[in-house]
Amino acid sequence: MSTAPHDRRCAGLTDAVRLGLIGDNIKRSRSPDLHRLAGRLSGLDVSYDLFIPREMGKDFDAVFDACRDDGLRGVNVTYPYKEIVASRLLIHDDLTRRIGSVNTVVFGPQGSSGYNTDHTGFIAAYREAFGDMAPGSVGLIGAGGVGKAVAFGLLALGAEALTVVDSDAEKAHSLAAAIATASKGAVATSSRVDVDAAIGGAEGIVNCTPLGMHGHPGSPVRPQLLGKQRWAFDAVYTPVDTIFKQQAEAAGVKVLSGFELFFHQGIEAFRIFTGRAPADLLSLRRMLLEIPPTN
């Protein structure tokens, strides 16, 4: 497995760090740009490559093992492998074990360690956008890897009630039960497979499904149901301006975009990978936004 050539002539760059992302439908991911720019601002020569198992003709385990054995410092893991990878890792904190989903992996001599920066990234993004506003009652659509991280983030932010919606009734029930247990009953939880019934009285709506992503067109919510909510969040960020985001904004709902989760989780992942964090996040954000998205 080889990485793309990387320009080492940039002034001030020192240590070389090899990173990557494993997932499906990731050709438009901005993660390579974020980590390379963060490296430049931190004095590191960072390479960051995309690994798509189905296009490589390999299963996830084979790609993961190849990244580890080829000397990468670590990898990010995205849809649909965040839950699959968790069983292969050393997980050092109870919260990540309870979430049961990992998006950041560091390869080390004692084994591969797993972390969840979607959780911390969502909390940081929510606070930046909404300040101290409590989430209230929330309808969360999608009980997969990012849905789990966001659900526990909503718990930390003080959500009063959470309805988990998923086409897989067992997954929805399991996540709702996990939040009820973690909150010791303080958060009223329920699960449904019907989106309409779940978000009728919600103060916030969260999309944690792939709907809206390039290759997965559409919206998880009928626009007629939008307008009474105070806020909404779409975990999708490729594109940033999803149909769901457009619908919610047109209905007067304040929307937190998936780009903000992507940015904050990425900074935390970079810190875990390298032990450093760019001091000037405003410059990093500006530089990232100046790079045209991959077509």
pLDDT, position 10: 36
In a domain, 228, yes or no: yes
pLDDT tier at 14 (50, 70, 90 boundaries)?
A: low
Supply the mean pLDDT for the chain.
93
Considering the domain architecture, whether residues 161 and 252 belong to the same structural domain is answered as yes
pLDDT tier at 94 (50, 70, 90 boundaries)?
A: very high
Residue 12 pLDDT greater than 50, yes or no = no
Considering the domain architecture, whether residues 79 and 150 belong to the same structural domain is answered as no
Considering the domain architecture, whether residues 176 and 268 belong to the same structural domain is answered as no
The mean-pLDDT minimum among 191-205, 240-254, 260-274 falls in: 191-205
In a domain, 288, yes or no: no
Domain CATH for 213? 3.40.50.720
Q: Give 295's contacts (C-beta < 8 A, 6+ positions apart).
A: 28
Residue 274 pLDDT greater than 70, yes or no = yes
d(CA 270, CA 267): 5
Instruction: Give the model confidence (pLDDT) of 192-231 as tens digits.
Output: 999 998 888 899 999 999 999 998 999 999 999 999 999 9
Considering the domain architecture, whether residues 175 and 81 belong to the same structural domain is answered as no
In a domain, 145, yes or no: yes
pLDDT, position 288: 95
Instruction: Give the model confidence (pLDDT) of 61-74 as tens digits.
Output: 999 999 999 999 99
pLDDT, position 166: 97
In this prediction, residues 80-84 reach a mean pLDDT of 97
Range of the domain at 196: 132-258
Considering the domain architecture, whether residues 112 and 197 belong to the same structural domain is answered as no
Considering the domain architecture, whether residues 172 and 237 belong to the same structural domain is answered as yes
Q: Percent of the chain having pLDDT more than 70?
A: 95
Residue 5 pLDDT greater than 90, yes or no = no
In a domain, 26, yes or no: yes
Domain CATH for 23? 3.40.50.10860
Considering the domain architecture, whether residues 136 and 254 belong to the same structural domain is answered as yes
Three-class DSSP labels, the chain: CCCCCCCCCCCCCCCEEEEEEECCCCCCCCHHHHHHHHHHHCCCEEEEEEECHHHHCCCHHHHHHHHHHCCCCEEEECCCCHHHHHCCCEECCHHHHHHCCCCEEEEECCEEEEECHHHHHHHHHHHHHHCCCCCCEEEEECCCHHHHHHHHHHHHHCCCEEEEECCCHHHHHHHHHHHHHHCCCCCEEEEECCHHHHHCCCCEEEECCCCCCCCCCCCCCCHHHCCCCCEEEECCCCCCCCHHHHHHHHCCCEEECHHHHHHHHHHHHHHHHHCCCCCCHHHHHHHHHHCCCCC
Positions marked active-site: 81
Considering the domain architecture, whether residues 269 and 254 belong to the same structural domain is answered as no
Considering the domain architecture, whether residues 108 and 149 belong to the same structural domain is answered as no
Residue 7 pLDDT greater than 90, yes or no = no
pLDDT, position 143: 97
pLDDT, position 64: 98
pLDDT tier at 295 (50, 70, 90 boundaries)?
A: low
Q: Give 219's contacts (C-beta < 8 A, 6+ positions apart).
A: 207, 211, 212, 242, 243, 244, 247
Structurally, the chain folds into a number of domains equal to 2
Considering the domain architecture, whether residues 76 and 109 belong to the same structural domain is answered as yes
In a domain, 69, yes or no: yes
pLDDT tier at 8 (50, 70, 90 boundaries)?
A: very low
In this prediction, residues 242-270 reach a mean pLDDT of 98
pLDDT, position 15: 78
Residue 2 pLDDT greater than 70, yes or no = no
pLDDT, position 3: 38
pLDDT, position 4: 38
